[in-house]
């Protein structure tokens, strides 16, 4: 029998275009990319992970590191693609791009659909709430014990966190991208928006109608405090390209330049240190 949870996840995925493309993924090798002289890399327009600024320049933790890696690999041109977060893995599978530089959290269910580099970053969770936090919300767990509604971006792993914490589906409001979060919370359509601490902080800085929830308590799932590890994402079949990226990434993470990039985009010293504490194999295994 298919569970209600499985049906709900499937319905959400279909509604917001996050179902995974059917059929075999299109892999790419490093030699193929070098022969073309370019690589297609996607971001989800999410500050500070990967986004396009007002001048059309692609920036963020993922893109900045990817630029260095591609240069070291001898790939001269990057064709940047901006898409919704929920379309990143389907886009890889449909061969719309060769790699994702969105610092996407490495999760077991995603590892079934795509392959990942070793972690390039680590980050914790946060909440965007209305100005002065009128509902006095400070944790994800509180949504399991109240009638408050929580907004979540389609395809984001906060959905699984909320489900694991026992939050009812009817208390979740799914939005297509981060840019909708401010209005969703400010107008009361949802009482808070669940995202990483960095994303919630960036959104809070854009409007005086919302703020980052103070005294936030990190969620605890299955007895462990939730923390994410982000990496570069590839279609299955691109192991050769992924392995080449890993080789350069491992050396780059030993440099001050990589540490400076983390700091530049608001990652803490703990975030940098934590990025070394999990391997992709461990994260995919859960």
Asked whether residue 5 carries a pLDDT value surpassing 80, the answer given is no
Asked whether residue 151 falls in the same domain as residue 236, the answer is: no
Of the residues 195, 225, 255, the one at which a domain ends: 225
| Beta strands in the chain, from DSSP E residues, in sequence order | 38-43, 51-52, 58-59, 77-82, 99-105, 115-116, 121-123, 125-130, 150-153, 172-175, 192-196, 210-212, 220-221, 224-225, 228-234
| pLDDT score, position 6 | 35
| pLDDT score, position 25 | 54
Q: With pLDDT > 90 as the criterion, what percentage of the chain qualifies? A: 84
Q: With pLDDT > 70 as the criterion, what percentage of the chain qualifies? A: 91
Asked whether residue 145 falls in the same domain as residue 234, the answer is: no
Cα–Cα distance between 66 and 62 in angstroms, integer?
6
Residue 4 lies in a domain: no
Residue 111 lies in a domain: yes
125-155 pLDDT, tens per residue?
999 999 999 999 999 999 998 999 999 999 8
Task: Name the domain count of the chain.
Answer: 2
Cα–Cα distance between 257 and 107 in angstroms, integer?
27
Residue 95 lies in a domain: yes
Q: Which domain holds residue 150?
A: 125-225
CATH of the domain at 275: 3.40.190.10
Q: Are 284 and 105 in contact (CB under 8 A)?
A: no
Residue 2 lies in a domain: no
Asked whether residue 200 carries a pLDDT value surpassing 80, the answer given is yes
Cα–Cα distance between 152 and 201 in angstroms, integer?
15
Residue 7 lies in a domain: no
| pLDDT score, position 286 | 85
186-196 pLDDT, tens per residue?
999 999 999 99
77-82 and 121-123 as β-strands: parallel, antiparallel, unpaired?
unpaired
Q: Are 171 and 147 in contact (CB under 8 A)?
A: yes
Residue 61 lies in a domain: yes
Asked whether residue 31 carries a pLDDT value surpassing 90, the answer given is yes
Predicted TM-score (pTM) of the model is 0.80
Asked whether residue 277 falls in the same domain as residue 254, the answer is: yes
Instruction: Work out the pLDDT band at 218, boundaries 50, 70, 90.
Output: confident
61-116 pLDDT, tens per residue?
999 999 999 999 999 899 999 999 999 999 999 999 999 999 999 999 999 999 99
């Amino acid at each position: 029998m298919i569970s209600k949870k499985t049906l709900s996840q499937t319905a959400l995925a279909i509604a917001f275009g996050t179902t995974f493309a059917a059929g075999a993924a299109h892999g790419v090798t490093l030699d193929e990319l070098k022969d073309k002289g370019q690589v297609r890399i996607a971001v989800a327009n999410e500050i500070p992970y990967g986004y396009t600024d007002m001048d059309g320049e692609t920036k963020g933790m993922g893109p900045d590191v990817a630029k260095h890696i591609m240069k070291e690999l001898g790939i001269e041109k990057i064709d940047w693609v901006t898409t919704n977060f929920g379309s990143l893995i389907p886009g890889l599978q449909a061969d719309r791009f060769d790699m994702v530089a969105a610092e996407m959290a490495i999760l077991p269910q995603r590892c079934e659909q795509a392959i990942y580099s070793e972690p390039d970053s680590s980050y914790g969770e946060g909440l965007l709430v209305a100005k002065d936090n009128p509902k006095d919300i400070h944790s994800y767990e509180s949504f399991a014990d109240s009638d408050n509604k929580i907004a979540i971006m389609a395809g984001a792993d906060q959905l699984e966190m909320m489900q694991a914490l026992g939050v009812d589906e009817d208390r979740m409001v799914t939005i297509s991208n981060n840019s909708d979060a401010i209005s969703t919370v400010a107008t009361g359509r949802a009482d808070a928006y669940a995202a990483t601490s960095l994303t919630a902080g960036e959104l809070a800085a854009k409007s005086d109608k919302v703020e980052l929830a103070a005294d936030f308590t990190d969620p605890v799932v299955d007895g462990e405090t939730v923390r994410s590890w982000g990496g570069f994402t590839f279609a299955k079949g691109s192991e050769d390209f992924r392995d080449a990226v890993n080789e350069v990434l491992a050396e780059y993470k030993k440099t001050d330049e990589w540490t400076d990039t983390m700091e530049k985009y608001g990652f803490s010293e703990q975030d940098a240190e934590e990025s070394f504490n999990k391997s992709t194999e461990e994260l995919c295994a859960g």
